[in-house]
Amino acid sequence: MEGRLINPSSGLPDAKLSPVADSSVLQIWGGHPLHGHVRISGAKNSALVIMAGTLLCSGDCHIRNVPLLVDVDRMGQVLSALGVSVQRNGDILDINASNITSSKAPYELVTQLRASFFAIGPILARLGVAQMPLPGGCAIGARPVDLHVRGLQAMGAEVQIEHGICNAYVPGKNRRLKGAKIYLDIPSVGATETLMMAATLAEGETIIENAAREPEVVDLANFCIAMGAKIQGAGTSTITIDGVPKLHSIDYTIIPDRIEAGTFLVAGAITRSDILLSPVVPEHLVPVIAKLREIGVPIVEEAPDSLRLLPAERLVAADIETMPHPGFPTDMQAPFMALLAIAEGDSLINETVFENRLRHASELNRLGADIRVKGNTAFVRGVPLLSGAPVIGTDLRAAAALVVAGLAANGKTTIQGLRYLDRGYDRLDLKLLELGAKIQRLPAAGADPEVAPTTINPEASISS
């Protein structure tokens, strides 16, 4: 938190005012193996939706293991704008939504953070009315919210979209949503979460069919259950929720971030390193670990909550198709593309979850990779070595892929687009620095030393 500007209303660092500037860059001198232990932070996607879930509770929510991220700051600002009290103390958030003073989330925040739209479910369940700006598309695709809206309508909400705002209210005297049977056309993570939250306070039983099975959905369900919600089947395709009138105070710890852990595994694999990761839930990483082993990377479960990655003798090509959980996660596709860029042979990567999520391919080619993209498929021909160059991250995971590639590339890689990285990785550069990477964060203007620093000042790479 040191050096961060604090938003006076939320007590949180202000994302807009933050010194995490768009103009800063990361410089990496590649080719150095990593070593040692890395601590994995709490899951971004759990933290964001659990923060939305606190709107269901009229008591105190004490949430532990919350990662330090710009997106978490922004979600805190959304809650503050609704009149909710939000206090941060290290990795603990204390949230009290006993007095929600507004049912309208601010446009400029929701459009910056898609997950804040998911708050429409709990706001509607608590107040019987919600006004939520549409989150809009983003770099990786159009990302509609039709499934969220249709589910809320099935639960009795009247929903109208006008001037870019989704206006929802629950008719009737008691303004409570009604349990319903909902089938999702796609097992959308966000729609499952929105509807599950809404259903916790609805009258009667809600059944969500073809629900998302991601670990973060299960984490949200466990959070709600711990507050007194009646939810069964989270983690399977059918979730059943029996509505209750009220939820109570809670002390809850967020699960470790499987995507952050996966990114460190790929960083270790590409640099042929020996590193230890904890805490992790190996079960959440099954598709990632299986793919890394197929590529030739040895991984051992050292303890129930830690993984050790050992140097690979050879990296070999593998095909990847992204899928909803428990399939291969779309959020790991970009870092794996960086790894496969230097694996022996031809790999094929098929992105099936988002329509525009291969833009990192051309940036990886700037580092010497040989990748062709046709539609949603990338054909990766392994090259022996990448070479450092200036590159730009176009979305969160694309930026992470470039960091991973830069760790392996010969010479200096300079990465722009850190505003994406800082949204979703908790001090990635500092953690890599502690593992021995030659990495530093600089203001863009100063990003031109020609030689790797012999001693690196850790302060220089703290993102916040």
> Is 114 an interacting residue with respect to ligand UD1 (CB under 6 A)?
yes
What is the SS3 assignment for 119? helix
Q: Which residues contact 281 (CB under 8 A, 6 or more apart)?
A: 215, 255, 256, 258, 305
Name the residue nearer to ligand UD1 (CB basis): 116 or 413: 116
Name the residue nearer to ligand UD1 (CB basis): 186 or 385: 186
Residue nearest to ligand UD1 (CB): 190
To the nearest whole angstrom, how small is the minimum distance from the Cβ of residue 49 to ligand UD1? 6
Euclidean distance between CA atoms 84 and 101, whole angstroms: 8
Name the residue nearer to ligand UD1 (CB basis): 126 or 357: 357
Name the residue nearer to ligand UD1 (CB basis): 194 or 463: 194
Restricting to residues 334-393, which ones interact with ligand UD1 according to CB under 6 A?
A: 353-354
Query: What's the DSSP call for residue 218?
Result: H
> Is 227 an interacting residue with respect to ligand UD1 (CB under 6 A)?
no
Euclidean distance between CA atoms 13 and 441, whole angstroms: 19
> Is 189 an interacting residue with respect to ligand UD1 (CB under 6 A)?
yes
**Alpha-carbon torsion 68, 72, 77, 81, what sign?**
negative
Restricting to residues 275-334, which ones interact with ligand UD1 according to CB under 6 A?
A: 330-331
Name the residue nearer to ligand UD1 (CB basis): 141 or 345: 141
Restricting to residues 235-254, which ones interact with ligand UD1 according to CB under 6 A?
A: none
61 catalytically annotated: no
Euclidean distance between CA atoms 328 and 326, whole angstroms: 7
Q: How many helices (H) and strands (E) does the chain have?
A: 14, 23
Catalytic residue among 57, 61, 138, 166: 138
Q: Which residues contact 144 (CB under 8 A, 6 or more apart)?
A: none
Query: Contact letters (x/-) for ligand UD1, 137-176, by CB under 6 A?
Result: ----x-xxxxxx----------------------------
Q: Which residues contact 290 (CB under 8 A, 6 or more apart)?
A: none
> Is 45 an interacting residue with respect to ligand UD1 (CB under 6 A)?
yes
Given candidates 12, 43, 48, 435, which one binds ligand UD1 under the rule CB under 6 A?
48
Q: Which of 421, 420, 461, 419 is nearest to 442 (CA)?
A: 461
Euclidean distance between CA atoms 215 and 372, whole angstroms: 33
Would you tell me which residues interact with ligand UD1 (CB under 6 A)?
Answer: 45, 48, 114-115, 141, 143-148, 186, 188-191, 212, 216, 330-331, 353-354
Active-site amino acid positions: 138
